[in-house]
Amino acid sequence: MAAEIDRDKVRESFHRQATDYDRHAVVQGRVVEKLLGLLQAEGVSPARLLDIGAGTGRLLARLTDLYPDMDAVGVDLAPGMCQTAAENLAGRRVRMVNADAESLPFEAESFDVVVSTSTYQWLATLDQAFSEARRVLAPGGVFCFALFGERTLFELRESYRAAVEGGGDRTHSFFPCAEVSAALERTGFEAARVGSELEVELHPDVPALLRSLKRIGAGSTAPASGRGLAERRVMLEMMASYRSRFGSEAGVPATYEVVYGVARKGGGE
C-alpha cells in the first residue's frame, strides 16, 4: 500500500526549498513550455487568469509575457514559494496568495482561465481541487493543467519495494491518466482531453537523484515512519537494486510521466 500524503510535510518541504527550486526542477521547466503551447492552441485571450500551485512564478512569468494586459493571480500552499514568486514577478500584473488548491479564497466565476503545473499530484484525491477550479472559472472558461502520473519515478518505487521485506511501499503514489479523466467528468468539466508524455532525467547515481528530489521539495511526502526511506539498511539495498536494475555507464534514469489536461466549463450556466 502506498503512503498517505502529509500535507503539512509537503508545505514545509516546498517552503524550505523555494529559493533552490528552479535550478533543480528541470522536468518542471519543460512542462511549463508544453503547457503554454496547449493553452495557446485553445485560442484564449485571458483577462483574468489563476495559476494554482504557482511555485516560484515560472509559468506566470511566461504567461504575463504572452498576455501582458491580463490580471493574474498565483496561489501556492507554501509561503516560501509565494514570497519567491512575488520577488520574481515584481513589476508585473500578478498578485500572489498563500492558499490551498482544495479551498480557493475567490468568488465563483472570478477567472476565465485556470492553469496549474506539477501541483495536483500532491493531493490525496483530485475531485475537490478540480471542483474548486471549476467553481472559480467563468462559464466557457478554460482549465489547462499538468500533473505527474502513475509511471513517475517507477524506478525508485520498484527499487524500494524490492528492498523492503514483504514488498511494502511507503513511496508516493501518483494518479493514472484514467483517474484524471474520470475526475474531470465527475466534477462537471466538458470537452476534456487528457494525455501523457514521458520525460527522463539522468543522474550520476542514486544519491544524486535523491538530493535532486530533496532540492525541489519532493524528497519525502510520506508521514514519518521507522520503516521509511531514511532507515539505513533499506536505503542501501534500495540503491543497490536501483543501480543493478536500471543503471548504466551514463548514470541512473528517473522517469516522469506528465499528464496534461485541457477542459472547459460549460457556457450555459
**Alpha carbon distance 133, 108 (integer Å):** 9
**Alpha carbon distance 141, 257 (integer Å):** 26
Range(s) of the domain holding residue 31 = 7-150+173-200+253-264
Is residue 16 pLDDT above 60, yes or no?
Answer: no
More confident residue, 27 or 74: 74
pLDDT value for 11: 43
Taking the mean position of all CA atoms in its chain, how far away is CA 177? 14
Asked if residue 229 is part of any domain, the answer here is no
Asked if residue 230 is part of any domain, the answer here is no
pLDDT value for 161: 86
Model confidence band, residue 189 (pLDDT cutoffs 50, 70, 90): very high
Highest mean pLDDT: which range of 147-151, 180-184, 219-223: 180-184
**Which residues fall within 8 angstroms of residue 65, CB to CB, at 6 or more apart?**
none
Asked if residue 184 is part of any domain, the answer here is yes
**Alpha carbon distance 102, 37 (integer Å):** 26
Q: Would you say 36 and 46 are in contact if contact means Cβ atoms under 8 Å apart?
A: no
For 154-183, letters b (16+ CB in 10 Å) and e give bbbbbbbbebbeeeebbbbbbbebebbbbb
Span 12-32, mean pLDDT? 57
Span 106-110, mean pLDDT? 98
User: DSSP of 37-75, one letter per residue?
Assistant: HHHHHTT---SEEEEET-TTSHHHHHHHHH-TTSEEEEE
Query: 212-222: per-residue pLDDT in tens?
Result: 887 655 544 33
Number of structural domains the chain divides into: 1
Cβ-in-10-Å burial (0-12, 13-18, 19+) of 33 comes to exposed
Judged by average pLDDT, the poorest of 25-39, 90-104, 248-262 is 25-39
Residue 135 has phi, psi (to 5 degrees) of -60, -40
Q: Would you say 63 and 51 are in contact if contact means Cβ atoms under 8 Å apart?
A: yes
Q: Would you say 39 and 142 are in contact if contact means Cβ atoms under 8 Å apart?
A: yes
pLDDT value for 28: 73
**Alpha carbon distance 136, 151 (integer Å):** 31
Asked if residue 13 is part of any domain, the answer here is yes
Is residue 55 pLDDT above 80, yes or no?
Answer: yes
Is residue 190 pLDDT above 50, yes or no?
Answer: yes
- Residue 100 C-beta-side C-alpha neighbours within 13 Å: 10
Asked if residue 41 is part of any domain, the answer here is yes
Is residue 69 pLDDT above 50, yes or no?
Answer: yes
Q: End-to-end alpha-carbon separation of the chain, Å?
A: 41
**Which residues fall within 8 angstroms of residue 211, CB to CB, at 6 or more apart?**
none
pLDDT value for 171: 64
Asked if residue 48 is part of any domain, the answer here is yes
Span 126-131, mean pLDDT? 97
Span 51-57, mean pLDDT? 94
Share of the chain above pLDDT 90, in %: 61
Span 25-43, mean pLDDT? 86
More confident residue, 27 or 218: 27
Judged by average pLDDT, the poorest of 123-137, 189-203, 230-244 is 230-244
Is residue 160 pLDDT above 90, yes or no?
Answer: no
* β-pair type (190-203, 94-98): unpaired
pLDDT value for 209: 87
Asked if residue 242 is part of any domain, the answer here is no
Asked if residue 57 is part of any domain, the answer here is yes
Residues facing residue 51 across a β-bridge: 74, 115
Across the chain, mean pLDDT equals: 85
CATH number of the domain residue 42 falls in: 3.40.50.150
pLDDT value for 125: 94
